[in-house]
Amino acid sequence: MKTVALPGGERVPGLGLGTWIMGEHGAHDPAAVAALARGIELGMTLIDTAEMYGNGGAEELVGQAIAGCRNRVFVVSKVLPSNASRAGVAAACERSLKRLRIDRIDLYLLHWSGSVKLAETVAGFTALQRAGKIRYWGVSNLDLDEMEEIWALPDGNGCAANQVLYNLGRRGIEWDLLPALAKRGIPVMAYSPLEQGGLLSRRALRDVAAAHGATPAQVAIAWLLQRPGVIVIPKAAELAHVAENRAALDLVLTPSDLAALDRAFPPPQRKVPLAML
């Protein structure tokens, strides 16, 4: 398993399990729980979820999947901006802990910025750390200007990750956000690495995949895995998809492959707004 260092030095899996669009029908989804459990068995022991996903249903599914193996799993969850006041984030964290059936979240993220001042959210995160409710805190969907606002805060250097939309077709963060995070040793968590399947029909991906006897999805994930400081969190609610994603770790793209992908998916030539899904 590729690992990625957090700012404090702890290393976490570079390939994890996403749960976006899971739990939409509540906490009864044995297939999804089985897929998450299989991912853990295969070494993808970082699981990303959020209170928003399935209105808490995804967190409940994660809680079922990690029962009995909590000490092997790095749990990431996210708080909605509407709950991100100092008091609100504490209450939201308690609700997430209950659904996850754990006593501490490993990494707790602000899902995106809203009307609550970032300083207040960071103060809430810091209080949760001191209370032992979370180990690390971070953000999601924040561009460089908001990251600079975070870093200017008294406790802003505690930010441990930024989860953003990043894939071959969405490379805008490479212009300024990714280098700024890398300079501070803050990893990117890349969500929607397949653009919800939208990348898979692209000819360049299919050609590289054919040359390696792989799938386009594996190529798209492998491309991200070969980038330093990037954690990839594809969703997989079926056993076959979990196995397919795990196999991307064994795919090594050559310089020729990377050049072909750069031609098909060019890096940014200017600043572009941060993309979200």
CATH of domain 3-264: 3.20.20.100
Q: Which of 53, 108, 136, 191 is catalytic?
A: 53
Please name the residues in contact with 34: beta carbons below 8 A apart, sequence gap of 6 or more: 239
What residue segments make up the domains of the chain, in order of their start?
A: 3-264
Q: How confident is the model at residue 128 (pLDDT cuts 50, 70, 90)?
A: very high
- 145-172 average pLDDT score: 97
Identify the three-state secondary structure at position 85.
coil
- As a 3-state breakdown, the chain gives helix, strand, coil percent values, each rounded to 5, of 45, 15, 35
pTM for the predicted model, two decimal places: 0.96
Beta strand 105-110 with 230-232: parallel, antiparallel or unpaired? unpaired
**Nearest alpha carbon to residue 193 among 144, 265, 142:** 265
Beta strand 188-191 with 230-232: parallel, antiparallel or unpaired? parallel
What mean pLDDT, rounded, does the chain reach?
96
Beta strand 3-5 with 11-13: parallel, antiparallel or unpaired? antiparallel
**Residue 53: active-site member:** yes
**Over 90: is that where the pLDDT of 28 sits?**
no
Q: How confident is the model at residue 25 (pLDDT cuts 50, 70, 90)?
A: confident
Angle formed at CA 258 by CA 11 and CA 249, multiple of 5 degrees:
40
**Over 80: is that where the pLDDT of 85 sits?**
yes
**Over 90: is that where the pLDDT of 23 sits?**
no
